[in-house]
Amino acid sequence: MTAPQPPPRRSISLTVACAIAGVVALQALSFAFAPPIREAAAKAGAPWVPAFTLVTAFLALVFLVVLWTMRRWGLWGYLAVIAVQIAAYLSAGLWSVRTLLPPLLVVGAAAWNWRRLR
């Protein structure tokens, strides 16, 4: 029987990208029910936006932690959450291009370290 292999070392680039995206997700968690978000949601006729933001930010945070542990399925889960967020915010008219920076950093770092992810 072979001994289990030690987990691969964490990448600095992936750690930084996950940290930046994690801070953004934490900020979304903390401001999900803030007055400006509720006002924008009411103006767009989408009262579900604050709760949706809270849930998807939490899921993004979970998947970022999994990705930080060098698991590929964490990347796929994170990208799925981001795709759902983009689709939902586009349908409500609340999406902006600047929200793509953290996911692009994460994708770039994951692509750079693809062979090390398991």
- Predicted confidence (pLDDT) per residue in 20-71, tens digit: 999 999 999 999 999 999 999 999 999 999 999 999 999 999 999 999 999 9
Instruction: Look at residue 4 and tell me if it is in a domain.
Output: no
The number of domains in the chain is 1
Instruction: Look at residue 101 and tell me if it is in a domain.
Output: yes
Structural domain range at position 49: 12-116
Instruction: Look at residue 7 and tell me if it is in a domain.
Output: no
The arithmetic mean of pLDDT across residues 85-96, rounded, is: 95
Start-to-end CA distance of the chain, whole Å, equals: 21
> Which one, of 55, 54, 73, lies nearest residue 63 by Cα?
73
- Cα–Cα dist 83/115, whole Å: 24
Instruction: Look at residue 25 and tell me if it is in a domain.
Output: yes
How much is the pTM? Answer: 0.90
Query: Above 90 in pLDDT, residue 2?
Result: no
- Is residue 16 within 8 A of residue 76, CB to CB? The reply is no
Q: How many CB atoms lie within 10 A of CB 98?
A: 7
Q: How many CB atoms lie within 10 A of CB 39?
A: 10
